[in-house]
Structure 1
């Protein structure tokens, strides 16, 4: 089930990213293309087979996991900027792009790198399972590393959540309200990842479900906003194709 969920999510993200290429080449809404492209890469790097293959090419010391963390940071930053601008959430935009948001990004990025360097990362292992099992010290460091990696996406998601709830309950077009609701669920799912350390090992599959629920909600939510924009333009008589928006 988890494998099907991973590859299905990857396929959806990849198809939407490809559909956005013509618009990106024309300079239209490039941020959407960046979001879908980064999400596609993040999902690819989180699947065991491609993860191991890429990491072996990088030296087999789990640099792929570190790359994955920063790809996620980039994706969530662009999501935050795009959504706050689209919904006119000025305060949320300032929190993400202003001094507070940049400080959070810098501190947590540095923390991720420092903890990574403290671990014995030899041996490619998706999710750092092998690294965690080496000894108690590495096990603890992997938990700290994961917590630091989840903190920034959770910060952005919690900043976005109130604006998304307001939009979902507003009188905006139905597609936009549904999109806002999905984005709110996605943000809440990411916030829930902060509680992963207390999830019992026998319920480890819940981590995958929460993670991919968040990704799918964000991807589908953003795609619906795109679709709503296309519908609005068509009603206004603007003759643009699906991929030009």
Structure 2
């Protein structure tokens, strides 16, 4: 089930990225392509087979996992910017791009890198499961490293949720409201990742479900906003044509 969810999510993210290529070449909303492409790379790096291949190419010391974390940071940062600007949530935009947001990003990044290089990361292992199993010290370090990696996405998600809830309740086109609802659900899912240390190992599949629910909600939500914009553009064009005739 988890493997099917992973590959399905990868396919959806990749299709959305490919669909955005023509618009990107026309220099239209290039950030949206970057978000979809980043999510595609992140999902690819979270699947065991591709992860092992990529990490071996990087030296077999799990640098691919560190790369994954920063790809996620980039995706959530630019997604936060696009969503906050698109919905006119200026306070959220400031929380992400202002001093507080940048300090959170910097602090989390420094802690995460420090924890990564304090471990013996030799031997490619998706999710660092083999590293965690080495001894009690490595188990604790992997847990702290994972918590640091989840902190910044959760910060952005928590900042976005109130604005998305307001958008759902606003008098916006139905597709936009549905998109806002999906983005809110995605934000809640990301926030729930902060509770991962409380989930017993026997229920580890829940973590995968929460992670991929967040990605799918974000991707589909952004896609719906794109579709709504296309519909609005075509409707406007048809109205202009009918007026001219």
Is the shorter-chain TM-score for this pair beyond 0.5, marking a shared fold?
A: yes
**CA distance, structure 2, for counterparts of residue 24 and residue 238 of structure 1:** 24
Task: Indicate the residue corresponding to 1:149 in structure 2.
Answer: 149
**CA distance, structure 1, for counterparts of residue 112 and residue 132 of structure 2:** 16
Question: Per-residue displacement from partner, 1:194-237 (whole Å, max 9, x unpaired)?
Answer: 00001001100000000000000000000000000000001100
Moved over 6 A (4+): none
Task: Indicate the residue corresponding to 2:16 in structure 1.
Answer: 16
Bigger Rg, structure 1 or 2:
2
Task: Indicate the residue corresponding to 2:243 in structure 1.
Answer: none
Task: Indicate the residue corresponding to 1:47 in structure 2.
Answer: 47
Question: Per-residue displacement from partner, 1:131-181 (whole Å, max 9, x unpaired)?
Answer: 000000000000000000000000000000000000011110000000000
**CA distance, structure 1, for counterparts of residue 61 and residue 127 of structure 2:** 13
Task: Indicate the residue corresponding to 2:168 in structure 1.
Answer: 168
Asked which structure has the greater RCO (Cα within 8 Å, sep 6+), the reply is 1
Trace 1:22-41 onto structure 2 (pairs within 5 A): 22-41=22-41
Question: Per-residue displacement from partner, 1:56-112 (whole Å, max 9, x unpaired)?
Answer: 111110000000000000000011000000000000000101111111111101111
Structure 2 residue runs of 5 or longer lacking an equivalent are 240-245
Measure how far apart 1:238 and its partner are.
6.9
Task: Indicate the residue corresponding to 2:230 in structure 1.
Answer: 230
**CA distance, structure 1, for counterparts of residue 238 and residue 47 of structure 2:** 41
**CA distance, structure 1, for counterparts of residue 96 and residue 27 of structure 2:** 24
Task: Indicate the residue corresponding to 1:180 in structure 2.
Answer: 180
**CA distance, structure 1, for counterparts of residue 220 and residue 84 of structure 2:** 17
Structure 1 residue runs of 5 or longer lacking an equivalent are 240-245
Measure how far apart 1:113 and its partner are.
0.4
With structure 2 as the length reference, what TM-score do the two structures score? 0.96
